[in-house]
Amino acid sequence: MTETTTAPAAPGAPAATEVDVRIEDDATPLVRLIGRTLRDSARAGHAHLVLRRPAGTVAIRSHDTPQAATITFGDGVSVSSGVLVEPDATITVDLNARFAPVAAPSGDAELAADALLALSPPVPDWQTAAAHFWSAARSVPGIPDVLIAVTEGPDGLEQLVLGEGATHYLIAGAPEALAGVFSGADDLLAVLSTGALGIQGTMSQLSVMVGASWKVRFDV
């Protein structure tokens, strides 16, 4: 298991005690996604009572692929691949819609609701998310020198420029779309395919940006 103790909550957020979120070694993307999302919740002081549940096993299944994982509450939270024990609750979700359930959960309804709450951390505003993304991604080999995020604000175009140097990469979209991708809540390629984002840069830069988006979404 890889153990991560969450950092203290950000100023202004509800006080969060430390929560151990553990994922197995060589974890699958889904296990990594769940682990990262739960850590975001803990870090934000979101669903802190849920994250400290003394017990409960929840199966998370993808609605359109065989992906599955198990969340086990108690002595922190652990996430593992597949569903190897009979869970107390099972939730089938859309992984490209921030764990939105596609059907009523089965089993313990309260536990399922708790799990869904823990998997729904608040998404930061787009500027905060972009700064977080840049902090995590700027060390990725081949990342452009400058990331420019552009959106339409109430007073016209708003722009955030991160980094400095010769190579630039521009991402434009609605504030919610930018925040979703930069925070890791949404998958970059999936959002691009919907047309909700526009990008300007080279194909090589897109490739690197995909890798950077994996870093924030899956913590790889």
Partner 1 sequence: MSELTMPANGVDRGEEAVRAVRLEATNHEGSFLGKTLTPKKFASGMDSGFAFADLLFGLDLGNAPVLGFAFPDWRGHLNDVYFRPDMSTLVEWEPGRQAVIGDYWLKDGRPVPICPRNLTKKMTSRLASLGFTATVAVEIEATVFEESIHEARARGYRDLTPLGGSAGTAYHLAKSKDWTGYMNAVADRLSAVGIEWEAWSDEDAAGQIEINLAPGDPLAVCDAWARTRQIMREVAFDLGRTVTFMAKPTAGYGQASHINLSLQRNGVNAFYAEEGPSETMRHAVGGLLATIEGNTSIVLPQITSYRRLVDLSGPPVTVSWGISNKTTAIRAVCGHPSYSRLEYRVPGADANLYLALAGVLAGVIAGLEREIEPPEPVAEMAWCMPPGEITRLPNTITKAAAALEADPILRDLLGSEFVDYWIGSRRWEWMQFHTAGGDPSADLSAWESARYFELP
Site of interaction with partner 1 (CB under 8 A):
26, 28-30, 65-68, 81-82, 95, 140-143, 189, 202-204, 206-208, 210-211, 214, 220
Closest separation between CB of residue 71 and partner 1, Å? Answer: 17
Q: Which is nearer to partner 1, 26 or 164 (CB)?
A: 26
Closest separation between CB of residue 203 and partner 1, Å? Answer: 5
Q: Which is nearer to partner 1, 159 or 207 (CB)?
A: 207
Beta carbons within 10 angstroms of residue 52's beta carbon: 16
Residue whose pair of structure tokens reads 């995590």 in the numeric block: 136
Distance CA 183, CA 117 (A): 17
Please answer whether residues 128 and 162 qualify as being in contact, where contact means their C-beta atoms are separated by less than 8 angstroms.
no
Distance CA 91, CA 142 (A): 38
Closest separation between CB of residue 169 and partner 1, Å? Answer: 13
CA quadruple 106, 110, 115, 119: dihedral sign: positive
Closest separation between CB of residue 27 and partner 1, Å? Answer: 9
Q: What is the DSSP letter of 103?
A: S
Beta carbons within 10 angstroms of residue 138's beta carbon: 14
Q: Which is nearer to partner 1, 182 or 214 (CB)?
A: 214
Residue 53 has φ and ψ, to the nearest 5°, of -55, 140
Q: Which is nearer to partner 1, 136 or 210 (CB)?
A: 210
Residue 211 has φ and ψ, to the nearest 5°, of -60, -40
Q: Which is nearer to partner 1, 65 or 155 (CB)?
A: 65
Residue 91 has φ and ψ, to the nearest 5°, of -125, 130
Q: Which is nearer to partner 1, 77 or 143 (CB)?
A: 143
**Of the candidates 30, 46, 24, which has an alpha carbon nearest to the alpha carbon of residue 95?**
30
Closest separation between CB of residue 67 and partner 1, Å? Answer: 6
Closest separation between CB of residue 65 and partner 1, Å? Answer: 5
In one letter, which amino acid is 216?
V
